[in-house]
Structure 1
């Protein structure tokens, strides 16, 4: 059996051939996904005597024997036909298009996939191969998949402290390529031997949503290759999670909403010029109407958590200090939820340079007369920590101290340390605008020019700070003119 990395390298190497023809890395992985599913469906039918999920006329056998324009036409018709199917098929092939215009190169890719027996590979191997392709796509794309890719060491540490268990539901409302869902599955299945419980874990535990069709396709295939979900139904779906509350509640919400402060849409005016307009979400369960999509995701998560459920959410710094809607939402989080832990993440770990982000950990509690947050523990993994994507990438051992300080399941035993500090509720709400952007360590880079971040990181940080300041000025101007962000008639999200 070939090593997973060797097989992944073989599949990936053909991306360079197609790149010269204008097929980007993200488009290449999309084509791999569409073709690989067909190949595995044929193998399931032939080797495992299971019925094919693909309608007659659009299966692997109908494709692999063709070449030239006939192959290109068959592939295009296959994508169009499968996009209209329900369930898993429709999810994977929704809006898929043939991006390989040269039939000879398409023929070579089909032959490359046909030469391997994929269904016989262990689930872990298939999953690792696909994960490797997704990570390569994220690292080599200037735009696209990188924004949906959360560092795997961070995901693993978050799942370890969250400790999801079999019988609990796990949801990601901005699922990207499915990293949180897969890591949770790997954690939950460890040591479990009962087949009934394992089947329930695979089929009834995980759900996700993402607004981008292509990303949902990658996520559905990633979960499928890891053995999550059924052969007919996809556990993830395309859609805007912020549109409404569908009534479903989840025991664990693990997510990294997309970067960028504002939700907006593009429109074309009467003069033919394109423009952008801020998008707000009018929801009765939101206490504030705002176009800041991170704040909207935070409000959405407070709604969809089940009572006594727990959330871990990656959010940028502006969520911690922004006034107006941000302040109201933070105060609500401190009062009605047990907001117990904040992890300040280092820069240099995401594919967008200069991002300053945090992980917010909180539990949903029933209505009470007194605030649920008694103490917020903050772990500073940012000050005097310098990471890059290639020279010094974030690795799991860099988070060992945070996991040890967190004390999963034993939070009452926590102790303060150099990087781990405790702040009382009264201290937090007394701060100007309930600002939670708290730090106490001496930043050595302010004194040592040699330790300054790379120029592109500094430039990105300056841009981000200027944008944050500009947004604050806009908020003040809107409030003075009577058109600012407003509170929404509140339907208690803790109900």
Structure 2
């Protein structure tokens, strides 16, 4: 997390845009992203130049040609004429990053930049912003990532079709539950700003083997991490650009972020491609029936996005692949045929590993919707499927459950993670505790209802009251005391 001086500088940068007429949070983040991208390319080139100088060799695989040197951050940041700075950035540097192609630095972000528009038309604004960005220390990858996450936190309004930015600590919780390995192929089919993919990357950077060595240092793992591991789909061009930039600032060289409507039949050929899915698909949305992939409709006949994404996840996963996804509570207990059908599919045809019930304030200030995390594994044969399901009743996430979301002491996440990774059906049969198992047969007998309240036993504390005569006497005494005080007045 960023704080103090850096946070103040970011806030000042944000205010500068707002004061100059660029007030849409997405537009602000986009414009800052473009400039950060230009700066990063120059940083990469400077690093190559320093290395070449040390070795006494020419620069290898140069990003900028001789004719493109004016497009470099280190060139235009030192120009004293504001009009000239605007001309260079708008007419040279910005087109340069838009048209990157066929070079080693081409990334998903560069591809999505082809639809980008540079909105800064005021020379004074641009020079002010360039100066402010230059003053923000971003040498460390963690600082860049935290800075970007802080900017994303300013997206305080919900998107369309129930799209909400997933809180970062909840994303980290889900990644910690899943503990992705070094050779995973991870996908988020509704990736938005790329939060799940970033959190998975951060987890893997710190992951060590049994000998205490970083797993990414093992042969081939680093290449897989940078080129094959991370996949994200979204149909919002702005989110694709922001998501790609987010991943890039977290040090992932070439994430596979693609423009796709995941539920559409246009992409129904993507099957058994990933070992892990981490996602928070859109809630309470609906899609046109004619555009839905036929194989999804065979599993569940509905137009509701929160239901359609579940068979999509199953289609995308390899056999043995795992998923942890956020769903609205209605998915757990909805009584429609579609609701029951998808729950039955998860339980009877695959392995439903766990259901984590989250408090309703998790998505505030965006929405107060109650949600849960469901964790499941795609299996090839029925005998490998669900035997029992692990439930956890999460009541607090370390933040107040109101719109302010201030830090508080109560936090079930550490206990959740500890119990999940040490779960034992023999020791977790107490339905009065936060964590417990429920046999498949009991769930089936309850119409595949997965709401935790269906199975959790509420322990009522016995409260002893004084006898009615004693209470009546105390009331009479209080009344007499009040009466005497009134007379005294």
Which TM bucket (shorter chain)?
Answer: 0.7 to 0.9
Q: State the distance in 1 between where 2:133 and 2:123 align.
A: 15
CA drift at 1:92: 4.8
Change (3 A) 1:252 1:36: same
Mean Cα displacement is larger for which, 412-421 or 322-331? 412-421
Aligned counterpart in structure 2 of residue 240 of structure 1, from 255, 261, 270: 261
Matched residue, 1:318: 330
- Quote the Cα distance in structure 1 between the aligned partners of 2:9 and 2:318: 45
Q: Give the structure 2 partner of residue 206 of structure 1.
A: 230
* Cα distance in 2 between the residues matched to 1:307 and 1:357: 27
Q: Contact conserved, 2:324 with 2:376, CA < 8 A, in 1?
A: yes
Match of 2:275 among 242, 246, 251: 251
Q: Mark the structure with the bigger radius of gyration.
A: 2
Matched, 1:364 2:378: yes
- Indicate if the aligned counterparts of 1:148 and 1:176 stay in contact, CA closer than 8 A: no
Query: Contact 2:71 / 2:89 at 8 angstroms: preserved in 1?
Result: no
TM-score between both structures, scaled by the size of structure 2: 0.76
Match 2:244 to one of 211, 215, 220: 220
Q: Does 1:90 align with 2:107?
A: no
Count of aligned pairs: 419
5+ residue gaps in structure 1?
265-277, 445-495
Query: Which of 155, 164, 167 is the aligned partner of 1:138?
Result: 155
What pairs up with 1:378-457 in 2 under 5 angstroms? 378-382=391-395, 387-393=401-407, 397-407=411-421, 411-412=424-425, 415-417=428-430, 418-432=433-447, 434-439=448-453, 440=456
Q: Which moved more, 1:157-166 or 1:75-84?
A: 75-84
Superposition deviation, residue 380 in structure 1: 1.7
User: What residue number does 2:82 align with?
Assistant: 67
Corresponding position: 1:281 with 2:297: no
- Distance in 1 separating the partners of 2:260 and 2:386: 33
Instruction: Give the deviation of 1:394 after TM superposition.
Output: 7.7
Change over 3 Å in CA distance of 1:342–1:414 after alignment to 2:
farther
CA distance in 2: counterparts of 1:344 and 1:151, whole angstroms: 16
In 1, the alpha carbon distance for the partners of 2:238 and 2:443 equals: 41
Partner secondary structure for residue 325 of structure 2 = strand
| Aligned residue number for residue 35 of structure 2 | 35
Report if the CA contact (8 A) 1:161-1:406 is conserved.
yes
Q: Return the structure number with greater relative CO, CA threshold 8 A, min gap 6.
A: 1
1:33–1:395 distance in 2 versus 1, CA, 3 Å: farther
RMSD between aligned alpha carbons?
3.3
Q: Cα offset for 1:201?
A: 2.6
Structure 1 runs of 4+ with >6 Å offset: 383-386
Q: Secondary structure of the residue that 1:23 maps to in structure 2?
A: coil
**TM-score, structure 1 as length reference:** 0.75
Matched with 1:124 is 142
What is the aligned partner in structure 2 of residue 263 from structure 1?
Answer: 287
Q: Does structure 1 residue 309 correspond to structure 2 residue 308?
A: no
